[in-house]
Amino acid sequence: MGIDVREMEDGRREVFYNVEHQNLLDTSTENKPHMQTVGSLSVASIFRRRKARGGDGDGNPFIYALKGLNRYSISDDQLWAFRPNFLTTLSAYMSKAPYDKITPLPSSKPIARYVAKKAVRFQPEAQLEARLFLKRSATEVLAELEAKYDSDEIPKKIKSQAAALIGTLRKSHNSSFAMKNVDQRLRDYIEPLVLAPDAPVAGHRILLVDDLLSSGATLRTAHRLLTEAGAAEVSALCLLSRV
């Protein structure tokens, strides 16, 4: 059960659910959720991204459509077709271990918050913590990145990408930092989040929720911050897996 993408005459790309194959996205419920790791953090994904056959696609059309990016779209009727398998896999995952707090990572799009809210329905005793993390400002990330650049912590092979990002950040003033446009190879050298002041995490079992597992840099940062703050256990759940 995958997706198809239809090119429209006006240049838009519409995403459709297809029960006949698993191209681009595996939404089946067998052997799900799909498990991967980011450092020492265990990450479960409800749907599994797949590469396009004979191409270099990485399964992004679905997330593009959900976010309204790159002229991709999906109708409400098509979204509804994903719901049964989404809920089945989510229910199976949430039955495995109890959590005290379920927290979506900060995002300009509501996808992670939606998944987190649905997860809480399967564990109503858990608390939804939507503001556990704060995005760092572009200015804060710039200072850190410049220091790593000057100290040669960033490898020579990606210094040109780092220099380009530094130039962009210098023009961003104090806006919130967004990881989405950062070269994948640079993400391990950037920490995009801080824990909210007096965040209630010590001794708690916490489930992090994100929309997409890519480099894992944001989840890795969140995991470290929670562990340092005394969280008893940290796991992660994404809507879509790493390819």
Domains of the chain and CATH, by start = 2-134+194-240 (3.40.50.2020), 137-190 (no CATH)
Residue 179's pLDDT is what?
A: 82
Q: What pTM, to 2 d.p., does this model score?
A: 0.88
**Pairwise CA distance, residues 107 & 210, whole Å:** 9
pLDDT, tens digit, for every residue of 196-218? 998 889 999 999 999 999 888 89
pLDDT, tens digit, for every residue of 52-98? 654 444 558 999 999 988 899 999 999 999 999 999 999 999 999 99
Task: With residue 192 as reference, give the H or E element that holds it.
Answer: none
CA atoms within 13 A on the CB side of 87: 9
DSSP at 196: P
Angle, vertex CA 137, rays to CA 136 and CA 143, nearest 5:
95
SS (H, E, C) 16-62: EEECCCCCCEECCCCCCCEEEEECCEEEEEEEEECCCCCCCCCCCHH
pLDDT, tens digit, for every residue of 103-162? 999 988 899 999 999 999 999 999 999 999 998 888 988 999 999 999 989 999 999 999
